[in-house]
Amino acid sequence: MVYAIILSGGVGTRFGNQLPKQFLKINNKTILEYSIETFETHNLIDKIIIVSNPNFIKKTKEILAKNNYKKVCAIISGGNTRGESSYLGLKQINETENSKDKIKVLIHDSVRPNTSNKIISEIIKGFDEFKALSPAIKTTDTIYISNNTQIIKSIPNRDNIYKAQTPQGFDFNTIFNAYNKLEDSQKFTFPDDCSVLNFAYPNLEIKIVEGDNKNLKITFPEDLEVFKQLLTQ
């Protein structure tokens, strides 16, 4: 059983729009719809959970009703942070599935609407050997490590630096136990789910799957323009 948890709880403060960016339309289709359809049409995905901004549950349900998605099994309210929303999605699986030993889960940001089938397939294939996998791409930029005074403190070797993407894939029990292992004060402070796992189980290997520059995250208005261009290719 392979679940996809699609995180749609963001409010898009950096985008400068009152409507969360996952609800913006391109070619009469919302960003959220593009993301859902990637998993809906993938033959290795069994069920989809949508974790929504509580203020946009109704709008999300309207989108789902219009499209008649077959794999979406739940729409739940998200939390105050990305991490809390991930955890609530995992709790939904924990509460609805009796046997969890063979469940795998892919956690995806809804504002990455251009994820490829290849990335999803490679993650699921990788479960034969690893309990956690993430797409990532090598950085081509030099990275500076600084402090609050914007003084360069160190310059890491960029050959070892990757930019993380989603979906990130996990053995269900492994990632759920990782969240439960953390203190409440730290549980929802991490930037992504691999960070939670790495903190809880530092010796557990997380396999990097080759990412894709086209698997962009829509954060700023210019990202939306790039996505529009990708749709024409």
pLDDT at residue 149, rounded to an integer:
81
pLDDT at residue 177, rounded to an integer:
97
**DSSP character string of 11-60:** --TTTT-SS-GGG-EETTEEHHHHHHHHHHT-TT--EEEEEE-GGGHHHH
| Residue 218 confidence (pLDDT) above 70 | yes
**DSSP character string of 157-173:** -GGG-EEE-S-EEEEHH
pLDDT at residue 106, rounded to an integer:
98
- Average confidence score pLDDT of the chain: 93
Say if residues 45 and 120 touch (Cβ distance below 8 Å).
Answer: yes
Q: Tens digits of per-residue pLDDT, 92-121?
A: 999 999 999 999 999 999 999 999 999 999
Q: Tens digits of per-residue pLDDT, 42-55?
A: 999 999 999 999 99
Question: Which residues lie closer than 8 Å to 196 by C-beta, 6 or more apart?
Answer: 83, 86, 175, 178, 179, 182, 187, 190
* Residue 3 vs residue 220, higher pLDDT: 3
pTM given for the model: 0.94
| Residue 14 confidence (pLDDT) above 80 | no
Instruction: Identify the band that residue 9 occupies on the pLDDT scale cut at 50, 70 and 90.
Output: confident
Q: How far apart are the first and last CA of the chain?
A: 33
Instruction: Identify the band that residue 147 occupies on the pLDDT scale cut at 50, 70 and 90.
Output: confident
Share of the chain above pLDDT 70, in %: 96
Stretch 183-205: mean pLDDT, rounded?
93
User: Domains of the chain, with CATH numbers?
Assistant: 2-134+165-231 (3.90.550.10)
pLDDT at residue 17, rounded to an integer:
59
**DSSP character string of 167-231:** -EEEEHHHHHHHHHHS-HHHHT-SSSHHHHHHHH-TTS--EEEE--TTS----SHHHHHHHHHHH
- 10 Å CB burial of residue 16 (0-12, 13-18, 19+) is exposed
Q: Tens digits of per-residue pLDDT, 51-68?
A: 999 999 999 999 999 999
For CA atoms 193, 186, 32, 218, give the dihedral sign: negative
Instruction: Identify the band that residue 73 occupies on the pLDDT scale cut at 50, 70 and 90.
Output: very high
pLDDT at residue 231, rounded to an integer:
85
| Residue 199 confidence (pLDDT) above 90 | yes
